[in-house]
Amino acid sequence: MKQIKNIGIAAMALFLAGCDEIKFNGSMNILEQISFSQSQGKTVTVAPGQFASKVTFSGNNSKKKIKFEIKNADPATEVKLEFDKNIEIGETFNITAAQLKQNFDLAGTMATKVENSPEYSGYEGCSYQYPQTVCRSNKSADEAVSAKAAAVVSEFAAVEAVEVPEASNPEMVDRGHPNPGQFNNVPHTPVCYTNWVTRPGQRYVRYFVRSTLRDIEANFLQNGKTLGSFKGGSKQNETVYTYQSDCR
């Protein structure tokens, strides 16, 4: 059985303080011609009629927005309203013409209901970070050491050539030895570091689906007269995890 909760002003106010959106599908019923003032001095006029419409509520840190997409033509007529971020839309609302910068008020009601599904469980795909040790030769540093060592060997060989001439005899040099001299064939010293690699995996989860349903009725009012109205509904689903194992 589904668990049902009702939420009101607090939930809606919390939403509009963020940057998400609430989208409604419904119908716009225009009783008298409505003129909407838009940006850059433009005006959009909608004639009487009943039209399928979409309405999107959104907000940011400076203002809140309502966008109407009225299917009275092809493409649909788009209208945007903006108002101060501190104006709340809850169970009941009334945004004045001055606040909207329009020639009408926008007033209405919004009912919000939350339903939680039964709990589900199973495995789902995931990804995790796996450490890999990577080693590379520090060639440039080792070449500098080898060059310095070669200079020392050269100087040492010059002295030996004077004091012990027979040392220059090729027969006295063991060329089969892997490191015939103290500084000859110095191997490169590896430089190692940890590289994190993303790998696919699985995890065991338990969760339920939270559905938020909203019904709205908004009226366009001018001097106590209703110019038109919008009625619509919205449903948003959210997966709520109650347990998540490690990803492996």
Per-residue pLDDT tens digits for 230-239: 999 999 999 9
What is the reported pLDDT for 198? 96
Pairing of strands 225-244, 21-30: antiparallel
Does residue 28 contact residue 53 with C-beta atoms inside 8 Å?
yes
Q: What CA–CA distance (Å, rounded) separates 151 from 61?
A: 68
pTM of structure: 0.65
Residues 6+ apart with CB under 8 A from 245: 203, 204, 205
Tokens of 113: 């209901």
Average pLDDT estimate for 166-174: 48
Q: What CA–CA distance (Å, rounded) separates 176 from 147?
A: 22
Tokens of 206: 């338990």
Report residue 154's pLDDT band, with 50, 70 and 90 as the boundaries: low
Tokens of 132: 């890999």
Q: Which residue has the higher pLDDT, 158 or 92?
A: 92
Average pLDDT estimate for 156-175: 49
What is the reported pLDDT for 62? 87
Residue 149 pLDDT > 70? no
Residue 12 pLDDT > 50? no
- Specify which residues 207 forms β-bridges with: 120, 241
What is the reported pLDDT for 142? 56
Q: What CA–CA distance (Å, rounded) separates 50 from 191?
A: 73
Place of tokens 């040492």: 156
Residue 185 pLDDT > 50? yes
Distance, C-alpha 134 to centroid of its chain: 31
List phi, psi (to 5°) of 156.
-65, -40
